[in-house]
Amino acid sequence: MKVFGIAKIRNEQHIIRDTLDSWAGVCDEIYVYDDCSSDSTPTICLAHPKVKEVIHSTLFDPDRERAEWFNRQAVWSSARRFMGPEDWVVYFDGDEHLYDFDRSALENPHTQIIACPSYDAYVTQEDARLDEWNYAKRLPWVAQEYEFCLYFYRNRPWINFHLPDQRNMSDHATLRAWITDPAMIQMEGKILHWGKGLSVRKWEEKCRYYAETFGPKYAEKWKARMGKAVHEMSDFGLPLVRWPDVRAGEVETFNRKGMPLIS
């Protein structure tokens, strides 16, 4: 049994080495789709010992909802050439770090999916001066709520990206047909999602991307967030808590939606 990591990334030079190191502890091989980066991201990825392939596209697809699934499917199709039926695939973004994952959870033959709770990091007043190159110097404040996300999938022919803006590897209908026993999905580990907590500059860049480039789906929400990088509460209105306290189980946390995020 092997674990294959796949990722779609773009202009992540400030964090991508740390991200790859984070996942290297559980992944035997990592495959990367570079979505038209204009920085050193592809070079950093190629130099990582767990990265077997970087697909570097020089075309920025203006249909971003299409690009989200198509580019992920491209790297998934490449990686699965080398996979056996009992191997695992995990998809992660370039700003997601894995913590507290017990790899033995993948050895249960009945388990088909591993879900991880994903917590958003935030910039706070105490660390607002730090830029994205120094993000790791933060003792992160995170949202008290988490997203219940499906990350690890056993290699099955029907696991694919095919829907507009698809982030996880199966849609609801496929999962309902596949998962006949709730015990086939297990929860393990924790994800720290740095996307909102890298720096004030990266927050504003993210706002502009979703407000002006991505398309109408998220434009209104992210336009309203411009100039609001520094947080005292989460974007969903709950208090921020220290990441080490979350990892230690010393604070109560909440499932944001009350159901798995599938697409």
The tokens for 97 are 């770090």
Strand partners, 29: 4
**pLDDT at residue 260 above 60?**
no
Q: Cα separation of 32 and 8, whole Å? A: 6
In 3D, which of 120, 181, 177, 171 has the Cα closest to residue 150? 171
| Percent of all residues in the chain with a pLDDT value above 70, rounded to a whole number | 98
CATH number 1.10.1760 is the correct assignment for the domain at 3-255: no
Q: Residue 190: which pLDDT band, with cuts at 50, 70 and 90?
A: very high
Q: What pLDDT is recorded for position 258?
A: 53
Helix (H/G/I), strand (E/B), else coil: 146: strand
CB atoms under 10 Å from CB of 128, counted, come to 12
Q: Cα separation of 60 and 47, whole Å? A: 24
Helix (H) or strand (E) holding 164: none
Q: Residue 48: which pLDDT band, with cuts at 50, 70 and 90?
A: very high
> What is the per-residue pLDDT across 129-165, written as a single tens digit (0 to 9) for each?
999 999 999 989 999 999 988 999 999 999 999 999 9
**pLDDT at residue 112 above 90?**
yes
DSSP assignments along 69-137, one per residue: HHHHHHHHHHHGGG--TT-EEEE--TTEEEES--GGGGG-TT--EEEEEEEEEEB-GGGTT--GGGGGG
Q: Cα separation of 111 and 185, whole Å? A: 6
Break the chain down into helix, strand, coil percent, rounded to 5. 30, 25, 40
